[in-house]
Amino acid sequence: WAGYLFEAVNANGQNFDREGHGVEIGGRLALTPRFRIDGHAEYREDDYDNFVGPIQRETDYLELEIGGAFKLTDRAELRGRYTFVDEDSSLDALDYDRNVFSLSVVYAFTGDAR
């Protein structure tokens, strides 16, 4: 799957109005009937037109994610995921990188765990 995002936020105030564009791609692959992998990548660019500060605020956002799931029973599966986020802001105080690892067990009370 793939998508394009256009977002316009009019907050009627300084510092919160923004306009942004982004793209996202991803997919899922079943390797066996019980095991699958999936992932996605997202890139976004935001401009804050009414930002009051020493410089104009602009943000580039990148997210990369990969995960897998192993079906334990018809209703339960074990999922693992790694996500990397890099938000590159024109303001150093708002610039960050993040690494997130997660492991979970999902149980569906009705139907299938997928």
Percentages helix, strand, coil for the chain (3-state, rounded to 5) are 5, 65, 30
pLDDT at 13 over 80: no
pLDDT at 12 over 90: no
What pTM was computed for the model?
0.82
Averaged pLDDT for residues 35-58: 92
Q: Smallest Cα–Cα separation from 47: which of 8, 5, 4?
A: 8
Amino acid at 78: L
- Report the percentage of the chain scoring pLDDT > 90: 74
Q: What is the CA radius of gyration of the chain?
A: 19
User: For residue range 54-73, what is the model confidence (pLDDT) as tens digits?
Assistant: 888 999 999 999 999 999 99
